[in-house]
Amino acid sequence: MSRSQFDPASYAAQLAEKKARLVELLAPFDAPQPQVFESPREHYRLRAEFRLWREDGKRHYAMFETGDKRTPIFFDDFPIASAQINALMPRLKSAWQMSSALSFKLFQVEFLTTLSGDALITLCYHRPLDAAWQAAAEQLASELQVSLIGRSKGKRIVIGRDFVEEKLQVAGRTFSYRQPEGAFTQPNGEVNQKMLGWAYEVLGERADDLLELYCGNGNFTLPLASRVRKVLATEISKSSVNAALANLADNGVDNVALVRLSAEELTEALNEVRPFRRLAGIDLKSYDFGSVFVDPPRAGMDPDTCELTRRFERILYISCNPETLAANIAQLSDTHQVTRCALFDQFPYTHHMESGVLLERR
């Protein structure tokens, strides 16, 4: 999103357009009207990435209009980013302006913050990082009270931790999350809490088991595990699997088995097409799956995975692309109907939207 798109006065109209678009896409399936979960108008984005542009001997935070990588737009604040990122930006800039060890060949800065106040800054360089850089970076991390990571070709130096800790409230309970640098996390923390609360409420209290595909760092896994007997969760990213395992342990969640399989591989395993060593010790036949939870990438579920979900009485689907969501529902609509629907405005001032549906067997 460019700075020119940021217009809090137009927020309500933009959100109404998104709702109308979602309603239109789901109209062929007789979906109910969606619940709409708004975003804060500003300071909602917990992570941000900026290029740096050198001019008049100094480096500046820079952005570019779409299609133009030659005309930088300089700025010192970013109103959609968290208040914490905005507070750190000028202090970081002042530090690199006063230190050649920090500024030399610095080309990119990444911020990762949380609602609970944790922060991590990544500095990216077109040069090797030496002892002078590390000494300056350690002093900077102490002054800013953040963790800090330096990246250069083939090297990564961590000062503090390589993750932030988030705490989210769901149904009166606090869940803690490790969010690693470089791994996917929901950028809009306030809306993420609303998504978790909606999914928790819609799934309901169940006496059977849950299959979760694309579980990431366990964002949904933690609260949903408290609603079912046990969970089998899958994720292909190694860093996300490691974060999810840490999050399960940190929160004392002991009814989840997590396996590093893609959705396509799990489909093969459940269909007994071939065995997987990564499933050793897990008795798939011991599960009494009543519900499946999916949060797929923008491409949606592939046809085989979509067919797999048809087996379940309830399909709880979180989507970052309403077009592929509609395509998946079309494949399932002869056996399942949409009984709940929601719009989560993760990305204000853009056309992107997050949505959720509950499909139940007809």
pLDDT digits (tens, 9 = 90+) for 206-232: 999 999 999 999 999 999 999 999 999
For strand 354-361 and strand 336-344, is the pairing parallel, antiparallel, or unpaired? Answer: antiparallel
What pLDDT is attached to residue 1? 55
Name the burial class of residue 299, with classes exposed (0-12), middle (13-18) and buried (19+) by CB atoms within 10 angstroms of its CB.
exposed
What pLDDT is attached to residue 31? 97
What's the CATH class of domain 3-41+188-361?
alpha beta
Residue 269 has pLDDT above 90, yes or no: no
pLDDT exceeding 70 applies to what percent of the chain? Answer: 99
Active site amino acids: 320, 354
Residue 2 has pLDDT above 70, yes or no: no
Backbone angles phi, psi at 299, to 5 degrees: -70, -10
Q: Could you say which of 2.120.10.30, 3.40.1180.10, 2.40.50.1070, 3.40.50.1820 is the CATH number of the domain covering 47-164?
A: 2.40.50.1070
Whether 3-41+188-361 shares its CATH topology with 47-164 is answered no
Neighbours of 8 (CB within 10 A): 12
Q: Which two tokens stand for residue 244?
A: 């999810």
**Residue of 94, 115, 246 lying closest to 178 (CA atoms):** 246
Comparing 145-159, 266-280, 302-316, the range with the smallest average pLDDT is 266-280
For strand 147-152 and strand 119-125, is the pairing parallel, antiparallel, or unpaired? Answer: parallel
Sign of CA dihedral 276, 280, 286, 287: negative
What residue spans define the domains of the chain?
A: 3-41+188-361, 47-164
With vertex at residue 33, the alpha carbon angle to CA 27 and CA 37, rounded to the nearest 5 degrees, is 125
Span 61-101, pLDDT tens digits: 998 888 887 889 899 999 999 999 999 999 999 999 999 99
pTM (2 d.p.): 0.93
d(CA 2, CA 72): 12
